[in-house]
Amino acid sequence: MLKNITIHDIGTGSRRALERLVRAVDRAGIRPGLDVRYPLAELPAAFEHLARGPFGNVVIDMMG
């Protein structure tokens, strides 16, 4: 299970730039395009969902 793991992240620049971005997103009311959230225990179902071509983001809840 630990082979071929890929973790994606984004570079945010400086802390100040990130804080400005967060404030702007909050003011504009922008929300991420979340399609579905799966608990970690349902990881195979999440991969099946990805294979079908989700409309938005698929989130794996590492605590759930």
- Which has more pLDDT, 27 or 8? 27
Residue 64 is predicted with a pLDDT of 60
Using alpha carbons only, how large is the chain's radius of gyration in Å? 15
pLDDT in tens, 17-55: 989 989 999 999 988 788 899 999 999 999 998 888 878
Residue 8, amino acid? H
- Tokens 């620049």: give the residue: 13
- Tokens 């759930």: give the residue: 64
Place 2 in a pLDDT band, splitting at 50, 70 and 90: low
C-alpha to C-alpha distance for 64 and 60, rounded to whole angstroms: 8
Residue 63 is predicted with a pLDDT of 83
- Determine how many CB atoms are found less than 10 A away from the CB of residue 60: 13
